[in-house]
Each structure stands twice: as C-alpha cells, then as structure tokens.
Structure 1
Amino acid sequence: MERPEGTSNTSWPDRPLRRLATALATSVSLIATPLAAQDQSVSSRLEDLIPDSAVSDPEEWASQGVPEEAARSEDAPPELEPDSPLDELPEMEIAWPDETGLPEIEPLEPEGDIRFAEFESVRRNVETGSVEKLSDELSIAFPSDESLFPQRDDFLERFQSLSTVEQLDADGNSARLAAQAEEDEALLDRLLRIYGYYNGQVIRSVGAIAPGEENADTDPSVRFRILPGTQYSIGAINLGNLADARADYDMLRSSFEIETGDPLLADKIVEERYDLDTALGENGYPFAEIAEPELLIDHDREEGDLTMEVTPGGKYRFGTITTDMPDFMSARHLQDIARFEPGDTYKRSLEFDFRRAILATGLVASVAIEPVEEEAPAEGEPGTVDMRVSMTKARLRTIAGSLGYGSGEGFKAAASWEHRNMFPPEGSLRFRGIAGTREQLLGATFRKNNFHGRDRILTVDAFASTIDYDAYDAQTLSLVGSYERVSTLLFQKPLSWSIGLELIATGERERDANGNLGPRETFYIAALPGYAEIDTSDDLLNPTRGYRLAGRVSPEISSTGGVQSFYVRNQVDASYYRQMSDNVVLAGRARFGSIVGAPRSEIAPSRRLYAGGGGSVRGYGYQAIGPSNSEGDPTGGRSVMEFSLEARIRTGLMDGAVGIVPFIDAGTVGRGATPSFDEIKFGAGIGLRYYTSFGPMRIDVATPINPGPNDSPVAVYVALGQAF
C-alpha cells in the first residue's frame, strides 16, 4: 500500500498494524451498506467481520485487496479516477419537502398562575409620574409615587453633574445624542446601585418629543424613565478582626453606624468606613488597617452582605520625638511645637497637626512623620510609638519689597532682608527700611518663633524713624520687646494675647496756630503694653460670621523737661459679622479709646489718640479727625470713638471673584478722657474687592460727609484684607 504523497513518517507509519487498520476500515465500509438494508434487529459484531486469516497474517491478508464479490456489488460506491472532475459524481435524488410528511406539533397549554406584564402599562405609569427636564436635550421621568424613590433630588443633582449629555452639546445631531445617551444610561444604572436599587431598570428613548406633549420640540432629545424597583438592605456584616480591640470594641463598633436591615447605600458605607478609620486613629491605633468594603448581593433575599476586613494593629501611647536634623531643628524644640506629651494616647489628628506646625515655620520644604514602635502592647497595656521626623530644608533667606499710597500718608516704599534661621532653631534676623513722603525708617528685628511653647513668639525690635504728619513731626529711637501668641493665616486662634516692654526716646514738634512747627520737645517713655483678643470669626482676612473683641492696656511713664507723668492708654475694639445670604455679609465695628492720668500737654503727640484713614473713618486723611489748631491741623486727643457699617456684596463677575462694598463710617476725638459728641465726622463711599485664594484685595473710595477746611473731597485706600 503506497503512502500518500507529502505524508510524513509520523502521520503515516509503515507498520503492519497500520496496514491492517486500513484494510479493516475498507472492509467495514463495504460491508456496512448491505447490512443497513437488513432487518434492524440483526446485530453484527466487529469480531464477526474480521476473518481469522487477517489475525494470523495481517500482511498477507492486506495484500489480497478487496474481494471481487464486494467490488462487483451493485450497492458498492462507484470507483472514481483520481483525475475525474467533481461534476461527474453520480446524481443523488432527494425528496421535495412537500412529499415529506411531518407530524403536527400540538401547542402547549399555558399554566394558569403565570401573569405577563404589559410594557405599555408600565410605560404609561412612568410617564404619568414626575418628569424633570434638565435641559432641552435631557429629561428624566420618575414613578408617580414618590415613596418608591425618595432620594430623587439628590439623585438628580448627582446625575446632572456627571451626565455626558449635559457636559457635551450634541448640536442637534441625533446620532451623537444617541451615543451620549447610551453612556448616561450606564451612569444611571450605576447610580441606582449606589442608592441600593439593584433590580432597577432604566428605559431610554431618543428622538424628538411628540407634538402635543409638554415641552414638545422638534430638536432631538433623550428621556430616561426610571423604574427603581426594591431598595436592597444590609444583610450580614463582617468587620474582620475589629474584636481584637477588646475594651475599645464597643466604642469602635458604634462609630460604624451601619446595622443589618439598614438600606444598602454605597455612600453610607464609604462614610462609615471613614468614621471607623477616624475612630481608630483618634483612640490609639496608629497601625490600623481597613480593607476596601466588599458586597455580596443576594437577589433572592434582596440583601447585600458586607465584608470589610479591619485590623486594629494594637493600641499605643506617644513616646519621644526624633529628628534627622538635630542641629537645624532639635527634638526638644519639636516637642515644644507638638500639642502632645509623652505618655498621651496616640491621636492621628495630633500627628497631622504636628506636621502642619512644622511646615508653618517656613524653614522646611517638606516633612514626613512616621510612628515607630518602641514598645509593643503587653498584658492589656498600650505600647509606645516614637515619632520619627524627616525634613528637607527650605530657602532661608528672603528679600521683599512693597509700594503703596494712602491719602494723608502719601507714597511709601518698603524693603526688607531676612534670614529665618540665623539663630537655630527658628531664630530669625530681619533688616527693614521705609522711604516715603511722610515716613522714613531703618530697623532690625530679632524674632524667635515657637519660643518655649507652640505659636509663642519672642520679638526684639530696634529702629530709628522720622515722621512728618500734619499733626506733628517726630524723630524717634525705639527698643521694643514683646512675647505674644497671635493669630496667623495658617492658624487662626480663638484667643490671642501679647505682653511687652517699650523704651522710647523721641523728639517731637507740634504745629502752632499759624501752622508752623514749634520747638522740639524730647520725651523719654517707658511702657508696658498688654493686649488680648477673643476671635470667633470664621476667617482672618475675610470673615463672614462671628465676632471679635479686643482690649489694649498700656501703663506708661513719660519724662520731658524734668517733668514726669504717669498715664494709662486704653482701647477696646469690637466687630460683628453676619451672613445675610450667599452673596451678602453685613459687618459692623466699634472702637473706644481713652488716656487717663495726665493732661494732654504732658503726653507726647505720637502717643495721643487720633482718627481718620483707611482703618478708621474713611473719607478723611490719616489722623485728620480730632482737635485741631487754627490752621485746621490735628493736635490729637485723650479719647476716641469710631463706628463703621458696611455691606459686602459678591457679584457674579469673574465667577464671583469681584465684590462691591458700600460703607459708612463715623468718628470723633475728644480733648478729655471721655469722648465728646460735639463734632462727629461722617464718611461714606464704596469699595471694590477682588477675592483671591489668600484673601481679598481692597480698594476703597470715600468722601467726607461733613468735611473740614483742610479735608479733600475724595480719599482712596488700597490694602490686603477687609477694612475690619
């Protein structure tokens, strides 16, 4: 038997058994046809079809070929020549289907307890419910019974903020709108699941609204019909190893406010996971881990089983603080900054606050804090974690400058150079200078931040200045020291305070009745100023609610011409803020000041009380209100009272970044220790505010309502932050 051409040895081996198998296959195929015509009850076995000679000598039997009887059989398949075309195959006759009889199929009887829902009735029910038209291209229909989906308002707001149809304009293109609607349909399905509706349906229809319907239009639009179905509930709850917290388990479990039977709300699960994580972090578990929540939805029960693996990781107390830069910022100084002491129960919020405080120093570009186990929990007692601080230095030298103008003060240019860590830790040295039309100054300031306590500042300032105001001319040498705790832009404090010492030597001249400067008098002054403020406002530069109440007291001794005087300077400031609407804030301010203990003539002009200017009564020049000489130049007084009222209105310009502020101010200065209301000055105007991320930029334009002979008709003030 020849191997077919192109057949490999592995596919057609020259072995006797292979040849036997080929011969058997040929014989069986030839014999199968006659057998098929026989009675179906006759059964033949393969062993009966194999002769004994084929078994005893397969090679010899296979070489004999096909028996002649089989070859001459009329039922044997015709022999085909290898080169014969396919169209010369023998014809086959197949009966036409009409001649083939098929049995009839009897229809099944429907079961009596099966009911079929009519889609049109469902559709009509949805359409008769609430239809919310979100835009000309998009509307949503809800069931008429609002109790079936009570979250629709929140659902709509959420969908509208994420909708592809809402975000992208289809421009009247039906194909584009259809593609956008398909994405929104998937979004609605996801939102339904977020609210616990796992068997809800969303029916989408795209096209022009039919004439006669409400909001009929010829432009293409899409309408979604919401069939929420049943809201699923929480089934079994598995919080992993939370029970390892032992004594804290009940407290921690109560922070996770989800119980079996509650509505299955994805947002609620995320919220409570955060609350549980916060509770762990605030109660001594720095190494706690919470895996992502998993839900197993059971549609038969209409419930979802919640699994959230919680690993508390042991309870700890704060240990010591370590740093990788002890020469730059020592561990002892860092402990002064921290709001926790060794032995306190670990709180994650205190760790975050510690990091913010380090950044607030301005000395570091970045900081990382890592709790490191020092002692493991044992026998029911918490362990200890040290706080490892890693820092990178920031640029420590700063050059700054500013340029400004104020009515009554003229132009002023200021410049400064500062090294913020000249004397580690946090000991800065700053040189500054002022050159202006009315003021010149040169000074040096030493400042120690976080001095023996968080946010406590020691300052020593020495400067020489010359001042030429309408009220007086002064040449002054000052040495001022203070120890204070005040609000900053990063940390606004409900209570601020300051105590200090001032040593001043000043030579001052007042103007006489003819406007000429008189002889210079030299005053030597020692003062012990103190300050305290209660601040409940919500923002340091742009408050919208709350109040501020501040008081200043400064006992002072003054010596001039061999005469010594003792007096006390007092001042009280109060302001109140109330938000009337989203865009309107009313703000009011009052100030009362008094000097008791000495006549005005024994008080240096620079230490007297004045009013007028951008932070006082707008519309008047700086320190221009109060007793004056015959030329109208102010001479200062021993008492002051001021009032201000303004409306801070946000406009829609530049996405709400622009605001206008109409205002009215009033003030008076008296010669005596109590204010006199004989002459009250009023000023009014309007301000422009540009709101930035760090505070509002302020431009106020005001006019005096009852001006004096030397008052300008218009005054302009430019500054950062609100007027008060």
Structure 2
Amino acid sequence: MCLPQINETYNAIPLLPPRWSCLLSLLFMATMLFVSPVFAAPASVEIQVVGVKGAMKDNVVAALALPSGIVREGKVYQRWLLRFVDQVPELVETALQPFGYYHSDIKVELKEQGDSYLVNVEIKTAAPIRVRSLDLWLVGAGVEEKELQKEKRLFPQQSGDVLHHKTYEDAKEALRQKAIDLGYLKATYKKSRVTVHIEDRVADIEMTLDTGPLYKFGPVTIEGGLDRFDEDFLRRFLSFKKGDTFSHKELHRTRLNFYQSSRFKEVAMEPLLNQVEDLAVPIHVTLVTGKQQHWRTGIGYGTNTGARVSLNYENTQVSELPHVYNFDVLASEKAQSLETRYTIPLSGHVENKLIGKLGYIHEDLSTYETEIYYTEMEVKHGFDNDKIGSAFLRYSLEDSDVGTDDSQSKLLIPGLRFSHRSYDDLINPKKGYQLRYEARGSYDGPLSDITFGQVIGAGSFMWPLGKRLTLHSRAEAATTFYKDDFTELPASLRFFVGGNNSVRGYNYKSRGPEDENGDVIGGDSLLVGSLECEYALTDDWGLAVFYDVGSAFDVSDKDPEFISGAGVGVRRYTMIGPIKIDLATRVSESSNKVTLHLSVGFDI
C-alpha cells in the first residue's frame, strides 16, 4: 500500500477577541507571521473518489463521511482534517474488503482550492480474493430436509467466486432462517468462518448449521372476540392444527384470515416459546373485534369500464349469527351491475361456505349489448395449500344484442369451479402462480333454452430474474360445445378479445369472429397469452414492457386469426396490488394508434 501523498498550503489566522484596540490589532498582524496555525476558514471540504464505481464507490464514499468536528461554524480545523486524511487509506481499505479487495493501492492528496479543501482519493484495486473452498455441512434433525439441501446446493459463494462478504452474510442468514421457517426454531451455526489468505488471493469458507429439533404447533388459546363469536367459529380461521410442523408462515396466514374476514381490527399471534413441552409450541391468539357494518365507496377509471363509481355495504354479523350480507353497486360508462350476497360459514376450513347471490348486469360495448338477471347458489370447500373448489347452480334471464342477433334466453347452469394459488409471500409476492378452472353447462328443457357445455382455464405466473427484475406470464383458454346454432348463445357465453387481461392495444372485447355484415359476433373458443418483464426502480415504482397475443375463434376455423399488442408501462406498488398504467400499440396491424390501459390489482 502506498503512503498518502499530502500537499499542504494554508494561512495562519489566530483567534483574538473582537474588542481589542487598533494597537493590539497591529500587534496581532505582526505576530501572525510567527504563530503556528490552529485552524483556517475555507467554506467546505470536498472528498473526491476515483478508480472504483457502483456499490464499491458508494461504500467508500460512505466510509469517508467527513467527521462533524472538522467543519464548525463555517471554519475548517486543519489539525483534525490532517488527522482524518491520515486515516483515509485505512478507511478505504476496510470499505473495499467486503467486496473481496484487499491491499489495494490507495493514494491521497490534500489540495487547497481558494476557500475550499479537496481530498482526492485515487484507488487502484488489486486482484480480488476468490473462494477456494466451501465446506458447508448440515447437522441435526433437519439434515435431510429437501429445501435446506437445495439452499445448500445453491449457496451463492462457491469455489471460484469473488469473495463478497455481504453476499456471504446474507446467504448464511437466509439458510438459518429457512431452517427456522421449516420448524427448526433452534437452528444455529456451530461453525461459520471465512479464512482469507491475502498472499494467495484466496479464501476458505467453513460452515456447519445445526438445525436442532423439529418443533410442532401445540394447543391454541384465544382471547377476545368470544363475546360476539363462538370459539369453534373463530378456530375456523386457524390455518394449522395441533401437531402440524411449526411455521411462521402459517401464523402469518392465520392472521390474514382473521383480518380478511372484516370482523377484527387487531390480531396478535404469540408463540409461547417459554411454555414448550415435548417440542410443541403453544399459541396464544388475541383478538379485538371491529365494526359489524362497513360502507365503502369508490370512484375511478378503468380502460375496460370507463369512468366508474361504486358502493359496497357489508354486515359481518346478521341477527347475531356469523353470517355475512353484502350489497354491491357499480355504475360505469360501459357497464352497470348490482349484486346482493348472503354467506353462511360452514364447519371446517375457513373457505367452507354456502353463498347465495341475486344480481343484475348491463353491458353496452362496441360489439354487443346485454342485460342479465341472475340468481346463484354456490357451495365452496377449502383444501390445504390454498386450493378451493366449489359447485354452483345458476339461473339467469338474458336479453342480448350481438351483431344482427337479438336473443332472449333463460338458462339453468350447474357447474364446478376450482382455484389454486402458491406464492412465496402472501402480501408482496416475488415468485409463484395462481390457476383457475371452470366447467359449466345447461340442457334444453323447461328451465333452459339451450344445450351447451363450456370449459375455461386460466393462469398467471411470476418468476424473479434477479433482485429487481420479474417475468410475468398469463394464459387463458376456453371452448364451448353446443347442440344447435351458435347464434343461439347469448353474449355472456361468447368469447371476445381485447383490453386489460386480454390483448392490450385493442378496446375491451372488441375483436372476434365476424358475421357476413362485418359485425363482430364473438367465438365459441378462446386463446390468450401474455409475457411481461417488470423492473422495480424502487420499492414503490417500476417499469414494464409487455407483449400480448390472443384470438376468439370458432373451433371449426382451420386458421383462426390472432391479434397481438405490445407496449410499455409504469407500475405503482400498493398493498392491494400494482396500479398499472400501460401504453400499447397493435403489432398485428399496420396502425400507429396507441391506447392507454389502466388497471389495479394482480392478474386473474
């Protein structure tokens, strides 16, 4: 390491009381030629770092933050500045070591520039330290855990990698935290050592993680909420049972279950680690109930709906029963709807419910206009791992106008629904997927005018491609089987493409097969896909580029027509999902038209 080169130029300005006479002032001016300087009074001290960039430069600059005592009351104390300059090489060396750089060539020069000082730091990094060996062992009850073995296999500091201390520390803690998340609450390192051989420019990593024993959930006690709800009802919200492997994720999921019911304003989940018996952790739940009735209003704009206003009413305890009554009204430029729902919780899983619906829908789009009155009964059943299945029976009266087809239909439609989601985080997901399937149909008879069957499948997926880059994909497919003429199907059972969650660059449900007059009448089948790459600029904002493709077609078509759109967008991340503002253009057509698409929330 080279010693710092320091050039000093300064003037002596001793301190004297302001009330001295002119004689003393003259004496002061004479003696200042012989008095050693204590401080000078330039306006500032600037530190300039060259030779490194990015995170390394940021770390060096942070390490060289000027101590507050050097500049006081607009004056620079040279004695402290010189002492600081002497320390700069050591500070820089320490700041570079986390990135694997040891014994770098560091030159420091102090310059006076008018009323300012410049501390110039020139860095020439030596060859980085590389990992020579990684000796990572798992011991304890969790040695065979597949997820721990995967984390071990993917440990980011492998042989040949540049030693990066933060990467090592983060990965080390992530491995321990993974063990804790899997129920090994006493996981700790028996050994974790990084030995740096500076002369050979190599480092050896030795780690031994002792997982300790596997803990289980013990008994659960509930405090609060019992004055309004039966304890058996409250236990429906628990996502675990006694004897299950202990998991902080399940505690978090349970907390969300309580909050999402709109019945509680405070929920605390406390593992009683000081009362563990036979590796079973007791859990104490503390609840504070909230308001029984909720009114919500909204105003906004969506590309699919236009300007809109909404009103929602919810009563979470009807006649002192834990039944839920909802009333929703939506009024927008393109659609209006009204729905009332009554939900009866069923025993067992929190998603076990009986739901009755009564509603009205009116849509007036460029391709069709329809008016629907409906009623529906649905029985939902929750399974483990965020899987929900349901059976429903729907009766509807629909009056629709599509192209030259003007039809009135009554339909009794039984069907099945199934959904499954899996994300690494329930609030701010970075990786995962969700799927949705539905099968429905009706038979021509006293309560139905049409015989048809329909199957629909949709999914959305997200994969992290780095710390801030995420790949999103979306797909949907559907087809219809019908007995007679396609024109007998009402608008709600036909498929169209265009708009948000379809093909951006086109208006909502504006494309599909056409009749002989050139009017879009929709198809009996659907295929839609999308790829989107999203980059998070900050925790709150992001940018995206996307490509959508899709087709609504008749299954008899030998060559269905696909349309595609592409564009860019801005993302504003919120607790309810991202607010998306997209600009899209049509790729499959020679058009310079750019459309604006606005949406809120996650896909599907």
TM range (shorter): 0.5 to 0.7
Partners of 1:569 and 1:583 in 2: CA distance: 40
Report 1:460-471 matches (<5 A).
Answer: 460-469=356-365, 470-471=367-368
Residue number among 585, 598, 603 corresponding to 1:718 in the alignment: 598
Paired amino acid for 1:528: G
1:359-438 equivalences in 2 (<5 Å)? 359-369=259-269, 382=278, 387-406=283-302, 409-422=305-318, 427-438=323-334
Residue 719 (structure 1) shift: 1.0
Quickly say closer, same or farther: Cα 1:505–1:180, change in 2 above 3 A.
farther
**CA 1:384–1:320 in 2, change beyond 3 Å: closer, same or farther?**
same
Asked whether the equivalents of residues 472 and 511 of structure 1 are also in contact (C-alpha less than 8 Å), the reply is yes
Q: TM-score, normalised by structure 2?
A: 0.63
Among 391, 414, 420, the alignment partner of 1:500 is 391
Aligned-partner residue type, residue 223 of structure 2 = T
Render the CA deviation track for 1:215-250: whole Å, top value 9, x for unaligned: xxx93328799xxxxxxxxxxxxxxxxxxxxxxx97
Structure 1 residues 366 and 512: CA distance shift in structure 2, 3 A:
closer
Distance 1:712 1:497, change over 3 A: farther
Match of 2:375 in 1: 478
SS in structure 2 of the partner of residue 336 of structure 1: helix
Q: What SS is found at the alignment partner of 2:77? A: helix
Aligned to 2:316, what secondary structure does the other structure show?
Answer: strand
1:695 paired residue number = 577
Question: For 1:668, what is the secondary structure of its paired residue?
Answer: strand
**Contact kept in structure 1, 2:472 and 2:531, CA below 8 Å:** yes
- Any unmatched runs of 5+ in structure 1? 1-122, 128-134, 142-152, 196-203, 212-217, 226-248, 256-264, 289-311, 487-492
**Matches of residues 118-267 of structure 1 in structure 2 within 5 Å?**
137=47, 161=62, 164-165=65-66, 174-175=76-77, 178=80, 208=110, 219-221=117-119
Shift of the 620–283 alpha-carbon distance from structure 1 to 2, 3 Å rule, reads closer
- Structure 1 residue 157 displacement after superposition: 7.0
Match for residue 60 of structure 1? none
Contact 1:432 1:443 in 2 (8 A): yes
The 1:680–1:282 alpha-carbon spacing in structure 2 relative to 1, beyond 3 Å, is closer
Name the SS for the 2:475 alignment partner.
strand
Query: Aligned to 1:165, what secondary structure does the other structure show?
Result: coil
Looking at both structures, which has the greater relative contact order when contacts are Cα pairs under 8 Å and sequence separation is at least 6? 2
Post-superposition Cα deviations, 1:189-209, rounded to whole Å, max 9, x if no partner, equal 9x98xx9xxxxxxxx999716
Deviates more, 1:352-361 or 1:438-447: 352-361
Q: Is 1:477–1:504's contact at 8 Å kept on the other side of the alignment?
A: yes
Q: Would the alpha carbon gap of residues 335 and 549 (structure 1) be closer, same or farther in structure 2, given more than 3 Å must change? A: closer
How many angstroms apart in 2 are the aligned matches of 1:579 and 1:346?
27
Q: Secondary structure at the match of 1:452?
A: coil
Offset at 1:689?
2.6
Query: Once the 2 structures are TM-superposed, how far is the Cα of residue 464 of structure 1 from its aligned partner?
Result: 2.4
Q: Report how far residue 335 of structure 1 moved.
A: 3.0
Answer whether contact 1:173 1:220 (CA < 8 A) is retained.
no
Q: Is the 8 A contact 1:318 1:345 kept in 2?
A: no
Q: Deviations over 1:357-413 (max 9, x none)?
A: 434444323234556799996xxxx39775443322233432222334455644332
Change (3 A) 1:701 1:593: same
Partner in structure 2 of residue 680 of structure 1: 562
Distance in 1 (alpha carbons) for counterparts of 2:69 and 2:530: 49
CA distance in 1, matches of 2:270, 2:50: 51
The answer to whether the aligner puts 1:526 opposite 2:426 as a matched pair is no
Match of 2:553 among 660, 667, 670: 670
- Between the aligned partners of 2:471 and 2:323, the Cα distance in structure 1 is 41
CA drift of 1:625 comes to 1.4
Query: Is this contact kept in 2: 1:618–1:665, CA < 8 A?
Result: yes
Contact 1:542–1:721, Cα closer than 8 Å, also in 2: no
SS in 2 for 1:164: coil
Partner of 1:341: 241
Residues 502 and 619 (structure 1), Cα distance of their counterparts in 2 relative to 1, 3 Å cut: farther
Relative to structure 1, the CA distance from residue 717 to residue 402 in structure 2 (aligned partners, 3 Å threshold; closer, same or farther) is farther
Offset at residue 326 of structure 1 (A):
1.6
Task: Tell me how far 1:481 sits from its aligned partner.
Answer: 1.9
- For residues 440 and 317 of structure 1, do their structure 2 counterparts lie closer, same or farther at Cα, with a shift above 3 Å needed? closer
**Which residue number in structure 2 is paired with residue 442 of structure 1?**
338
C-alpha offsets along residues 552-591 of structure 1, whole Å, 9 cap, x if unaligned? Answer: 2313114478875443211233445455565554444333
Distance in 1, matches of 2:429 and 2:587, equals 28
For residues 683 and 607 of structure 1, the distance between their equivalents in structure 2, rounded to whole angstroms, comes to 25
Whole-angstrom distance in 2 between the partners of 1:424 and 1:340: 27
Moved more, 362-371 or 578-587: 578-587
Distance 2:381 2:437 in 1: 13
**Residue 225 of structure 2 corresponds to residue 325 of structure 1:** yes
For residues 2-59 of structure 1, the C-alpha deviation after alignment (integer angstroms, 9 at most, x for no partner) is xxxxxxxxxxxxxxxxxxxxxxxxxxxxxxxxxxxxxxxxxxxxxxxxxxxxxxxxxx
Q: Residue type of the partner of 1:403?
A: I
- The alignment covers a number of residue pairs equal to 505
Distance in 2 (alpha carbons) for counterparts of 1:557 and 1:695:
36
8 A Cα contact 2:49 2:57, kept in partner: no
Alignment of 1:604-643 (within 5 A): 604-643=490-529
Aligned counterpart, 2:474: 589
Q: Deviations over 1:245-264 (max 9, x none)?
A: xxxx97699x9xxxxxxxxx
CA contact (8 A) 2:112 2:118 kept: no
1:339–1:350 contact (8 Å) kept in structure 2: yes
Amino acid aligned to 1:318: G
Matching residue's letter, 2:362: T
CA contact (8 A) 1:570 1:595 kept: yes
* 2:227 aligned counterpart, secondary structure: coil
Q: Percent identity?
A: 17
Cα distance change of structure 1 residues 340 and 664 upon mapping to structure 2, 3 Å threshold: closer
**Structure 1 425/596 Cα, relative in aligned 2: closer, same or farther at 3 Å?**
same
Q: Give the whole-Å Cα distance in 2 for the aligned partners of 1:714 and 1:636.
A: 24
